[in-house]
Amino acid sequence: MRKVPFLDIGRMHQSIRDDLDAAYRRVTDSGWFIMGPELEAFEAEFAAYSGAKHCIGVGNGLEALHLLLRAYDIGPGDEVIVPSNTFIATWLAVSQCGAIPVPVEPCSDTYNLDPALLAAAITTRTRAIMPVHLYGQPADMDPINELAKKHGLKVIEDAAQSQGARYKGRCAGALADAAATSFYPGKNLGALGDGGAVLTSDDSVAARVRQLRNYGSTVKYQHDVAGFNTRLDELQAAFLRVKLPLLDAGNARRREIAALYTAGLAQADVVLPVVGADIESVWHLYVIRSKQRDALKAHLERAGVSTVIHYPTPPHLQACYPEYKDFSLPIAASQAGELLSLPMSPLLDQGDIDHVIQSVLSFR
């Protein structure tokens, strides 16, 4: 029986092994492992790719979000609007600063923050909105930015799942005041370990994040603020420099696969993903919805098709957030029981795609 893995990261590196080996040797021979020429070069290359003026490499995506909130002096007493249906990191970044995550529900078709629900969530304590470009699709940024401007709020994109995605022709990561992204190995642009970056065109925010990631220091052994140690290391930066030039081709292949899934599953008894107008998703995930999700997942498993649930429990129902357990967030809560992510990787071939489609269609 054919087996379709959910995502085969190891195999993705086979075709670029010589380049990765050369990057490894370049760094190990240089003897310089932290804050060196590879990081500087990657930051310039990724900033140019995204269209933001600055890129600051940090330890992971959560830290990228966290340092941005710190850079904006967001802390105790402040509120930050977050999606109710995101990965926990979006909320944790806010809580880590001592600020309060204020959840807003998503649109039921795109799964992204519903701009129509935002105004009601804004209070005198609101400082920022953190839309997530979930599953690779940018949120509807124009009304979000407009509302933020009206209320004097910052907009911070969580672009961890959307490297290379576009909204009205512009790249995710350059659609608001600042953005955070993640190079966790499973992301569209993944390192060979943890990594993340802040993107912004604001000089002073960029300078603050640079300082915060490196012990609050801009001059060695001089610490002007109580900072953190969260830096993208030279090896990961060198590996990312090998992988960045391949990102667009990988995203294009994901788009083809998504189109084949959507065409092939038109008659299936599941809800298919919808992409908004003027938006180019990079299909980090292809997420379908079914009332019989668990039975469908088991059926696919028996057919050799690996699937994953993103995410089985929304942040407000996690044990780490007991104060939210009685919040009424019915869209996030009900979707968590119905969502299922099909295999998605640039390496899927036509046989894999057909097998996934046939397996979903054969579920009764």
- Contacts with ligand PLP, residue ranges (CB under 6 A): 60-62, 86-87, 89-90, 132, 158, 160-161, 182, 184, 194, 196
60 vs 110 by CB, closer to ligand PLP: 60
Min CB(62)–ligand PLP separation in Å: 4
Query: Which residue sits closest to ligand PLP, CB atoms considered?
Result: 61
Min CB(28)–ligand PLP separation in Å: 24
196 vs 315 by CB, closer to ligand PLP: 196
**Alpha carbon of 124 to those of 79, 152, 153: distances in Å?**
9, 11, 11
β partners of residue 56 = 198
Residue 57 has a CB neighbour count (10 Å cut-off) of 28
CA dihedral 52, 55, 59, 65 (to 10 degrees): -40
What is the chain's length?
364
Distance separating alpha carbons of residues 202 and 226, to the nearest angstrom = 22
84 vs 359 by CB, closer to ligand PLP: 84
173 vs 303 by CB, closer to ligand PLP: 173
Min CB(105)–ligand PLP separation in Å: 16
Min CB(195)–ligand PLP separation in Å: 7
Min CB(345)–ligand PLP separation in Å: 16
Residue 1 has a CB neighbour count (10 Å cut-off) of 6
DSSP 197-238: EEEES-HHHHHHHHHHHBTTEEETTEESS---B---BHHHHH
Min CB(357)–ligand PLP separation in Å: 26
Q: Cα 269 vs. chain centroid, distance in angstroms?
A: 28
177 vs 352 by CB, closer to ligand PLP: 177
7 vs 296 by CB, closer to ligand PLP: 7
β partners of residue 147 = none
Contact in structure between 112 and 130 (CB atoms under 8 Å): no
DSSP 244: G
